[in-house]
Amino acid sequence: MKRLLLVALMVLVNLVEMAMSRLSRYLARTPPQTAPALCRSLFAILILFVGCSTVGTAPLTLPTGLSPVVGGIADLRPYFGKFKAALGNSEGDFLLAGCGCGDWRVLMSTADGKQWQFPVRFYSTGGYQPTGDVKVFGQSDTEALLGTVHQDTGLTDGLSNHNTIGLTFSATRGETHTNVASVCVKCHIGDNPIRPQASDHPSRCSGGVTTGCFTVDPPNCLSCHTVVIKN
């Protein structure tokens, strides 16, 4: 993947150099017969911008020969990590978590409060085993993800597309109840939560009140709720 991106960038650099060379030659002279050369230069620049907007966003598809893991993987502990834009330095928080009844979802959020989520499923070669690697895949109208869950080491990594932006992600399986409580916040609170809070849920603490309400930093969800995580 990195090699393909490098080749694509080299092609784009060559295109812009050719376009700028032709444009500079045009600007240095005025005869009308140079107009076609300008048209070709502008067309090359247009190709450059189209190329820049599409590099790294190739469709993600599930490899053939895999079988769905019915009910999801055996270890239900969530995976916490980061995602990063394939071209650029922007990054954000990544979460892969089970929401009950075999429903697993990916949730990504940025520092400025943007958040999006979509369902994923797991796939194995032959019959599922709770050891070894399995694939994780999901897609919606604007999102897609294809990665590998390394069940033995508790790691996951792969690629994702968010609208027209190509992303990479990596995450580690959580081990503590602190991590579990933070999953509560991401799944039930904020923009585009996986499962919004019930209408009769206590409100967020404010004005110095600390009882009969909830906090998010640190989260106090486990003071009222019991979360069972199956290892």
Q: Per-residue pLDDT tens for 62-92?
A: 999 999 999 999 999 999 999 999 777 679 9
pLDDT at 113: 81
pLDDT at 83: 97
Q: What are phi and psi of 93, to 5 degrees?
A: -85, 145
Q: Is the pLDDT of residue 38 over 80?
A: no
Q: Is the pLDDT of residue 141 over 60?
A: yes
* pTM over cut 0.85: no
Q: What is the mean pLDDT of the chain?
A: 79
Convert the pLDDT of each residue in 97-134 to its tens digit.
987 778 999 999 998 888 899 999 999 999 999 999 99
